[in-house]
Amino acid sequence: MTLMGVLLGTLAQLVFALLLFMLAVFAGASVANNRELAPRRLAMLNWAIYVLPGLCVVSAVVVIVSYLLDASAGYYLWYGLPLAGVLFYGIVISDSLNAVVLSRRFWLPAAIMLAAVMATGGYAGVFGFLNKQDVLLFPPVKGLLTLEGEPVADVEIIREATYDDVDSQTVNTDANGRFAFPEWITRSSTPGEPLAEARLRQVIAAKYEGEYYVLWQYTTDRVDEEPVIAQRLANLDCDLADEETDHYFPIPDKPQFDHIVGSICRWSS
């Protein structure tokens, strides 16, 4: 989940905390007014007024801290803690109301409130990490590296992709200055998250005599293949003597916009 997803989940938890406070107050009052309760049962209903909203706050804090510590995706399950509290609360009062009153005064409002909270996307993180999608980090890459027109052999080429994390791969140019990378696909739950603003950053660089030369630098919000980009990446013609510049490639379905690529490479079309 991105930072936006965590912020959205926190907001949903705070809203849910208010709804659970109201539920505990009105449902508890309804039970107390209809039945004479044992002191322990009455104390549990009173404590629920504070405990149920508190579970929302605790779950939000745990997720925020886990996000900051870069914990594993399983921490999103903490968003389900208030749901467990609601189920336990229903068990507590179920012995105090008959089925008709219970269905009308507790389960129906609870179901409506849970549906409202889940509709905001606050619980998307609980299930989102289980629904990972393919993300195309790079299509196949092929290129030629030269210096003033002459092939340069055994130069390290680094391909780096930044999406959920930063990953890189390396190859070396062959005796003819050529290099290639296969298609690079990863699995991520980010595309399915509400209001996710993750962007893919692609970088290819050549390390020659201690200096780095940018062969490709591109940022996009697409996670599938872009034909124009795939075509350019399959035909990198790069001379270390050329200066890095921005290249503008029209987007076929949006002619008013361009793909902007920084590179020392050149393309004939």
Question: Which residues are bridge partners to 215 per DSSP?
Answer: none
Three-state SS at 250 = strand
pLDDT at 49: 81
User: Contact, 184 vs 141, CB < 8 A?
Assistant: no
pLDDT of res. 237: 96
Distance CA 164, CA 1 (A): 9
pLDDT score for 164: 84
pLDDT in tens, the chain (269 residues): 566 777 887 888 888 888 878 877 776 676 666 666 667 666 777 777 888 888 888 888 888 887 776 655 566 677 778 877 777 777 666 655 544 344 445 555 555 555 555 444 444 444 444 467 889 999 999 999 999 999 999 999 999 999 988 999 999 999 999 999 999 999 887 776 655 567 899 999 999 999 999 999 999 988 888 999 999 999 999 999 999 999 999 888 887 889 999 999 999 86
**Whole-number pLDDT of residue 121:** 46
How far, in Å, CA of 171 to CA of 194, rounded?
A: 37
The C-alpha atoms of residue 248 and residue 260 are separated, in whole angstroms, by 5
Give pLDDT, residue 114.
54
Question: Going edge to edge, which strands form the sheet with 254-263?
Answer: 166-172, 156-162, 200-208, 211-220, 254-263, 245-251
Q: What is the per-residue pLDDT for 206?
A: 96
